[in-house]
Chains A and B, each alone.
Chain A
């Protein structure tokens, strides 16, 4: 789980357009979520270990690449979101890219990010 704040605001839009597009999510001081991040890996079961992937190692990758970076932060201040609105779509893609490079090739299937109990986003390799 990842607790972070964000504000949805695009410099390419006027104040009125930002309000219309984002509603309450455009409130100037931001707001927060407890995001849930789900990572699906796919692969054969290794005959010696019986595992697709070492979960301890996967936890470590998630902690160092994602949680240490984003947990208890303001997403808008992360370099990844200087020119990109930190919608959960864009966060999902960013997490996927960060993990893809840190895991063995072809193993990362998709990342799912749940923003609230009512909505979640999923992205995989395109």
Chain B
């Protein structure tokens, strides 16, 4: 079994805010991330698929195909967007790095599982070079 990972970047803005809490509590829990004007990141997305290399082509999956899937399912919705205001899954869920990793997985999993016998095995989202969240699906 080989794991193949494709990296992509997207630039997006967001803020952290829980509507069920008071302004004070939001500011206390989320600090500067609670600023409703938002702030931004250059996110790095790593998408890992696992499978056996095709005995003829030597590919687990065609990287060009995977690049197109990532673009179509994730980047087109997230890149150069305001996550809270423009992305449906973050109308209610706070766009933390953790929730972005899970959301990206949910966007990618149907497309990946439909093809070639490979399976989605890991999605990692870097909010900054020092912070990332990783999701491997539910066991």
Residues on A with beta carbons closer than 8 Å to the beta carbon of B8: 118
Q: With both chains docked as a complex, state the minimum distance between the C-beta of A121 and any C-beta of chain B, in angstroms.
A: 5
Beyond A21-B62, A23-B64, is A92–B6 a contact (Cβ under 8 Å)? Answer: no
- B56, CB-defined interface residue at 8 Å: yes
B60 contacts chain A at the CB level, 8 A cutoff: yes
Q: Decide if B7 touches A123 in the complex (CB within 8 Å).
A: no
**A89, A118, A120, A122: which contacts B59 (Cβ < 8 A)?**
A89
Chain B residues within 8 Å of A, Cβ to Cβ: 1-8, 53, 56-60, 62-64, 67
Give min CB distance, B9 to chain A, whole Å: 9
Query: Which residues from chain B contact A93 at a C-beta distance below 8 Å?
Result: 2, 53
Known contacts being A10-B58, A23-B64, A119-B63, is A89 close to B53, with CB within 8 Å? Answer: yes
A126 within 8 Å of B (CB atoms): yes
Q: Report chain A residues within 8 Å CB of B59.
A: 21, 87, 89
Residues of A within 8 A of B6 (CB): 118-119
Number of interface residues of A (CB under 8 A): 24
Q: Is A12 an interface residue (CB 8 A)?
A: yes
Which residue of the partner chain, among A13, A118, A122, A126, contacts B7 with CB atoms under 8 Å? Answer: A118
A117 to B67, CA, bound (A): 13
Q: Which of A1-52 contact B (CB under 8 A)?
A: 8, 10, 12-13, 21-23
Give chain A's interface residues, CB within 8 Å of chain B.
8, 10, 12-13, 21-23, 84-87, 89-90, 92-93, 117-124, 126
Question: Whole-angstrom distance between the alpha carbons of A104 and B1 in the complex?
Answer: 22
Q: What are 20 A-to-B residue pairs whose CB atoms are below 8 Å? A: A10-B57, A10-B58, A12-B56, A21-B59, A85-B57, A85-B58, A87-B58, A87-B59, A89-B2, A89-B4, A90-B53, A90-B58, A121-B4, A121-B5, A122-B3, A122-B5, A123-B1, A123-B2, A123-B3, A126-B1
C-alpha spacing A117/B44, complex, angstroms: 11
- Within the complex, what minimum Cβ distance (angstroms) separates B42 from chain A? 14
CB distance from A11 to the nearest CB of B (A): 10
Once bound together, how far apart are the Cα atoms of A84 and B57, in whole Å? 9
For residue B3, which residue of chain A has the nearest CB?
Answer: A122
> Which residues of B have CB within 8 Å of A84?
58
Contacts of A118 in B (CB 8 A): 6-8, 67
Nearest-Cβ distance from residue B37 to partner chain A, whole angstroms:
32
A10 vs B63: C-alpha distance when bound (angstroms):
17
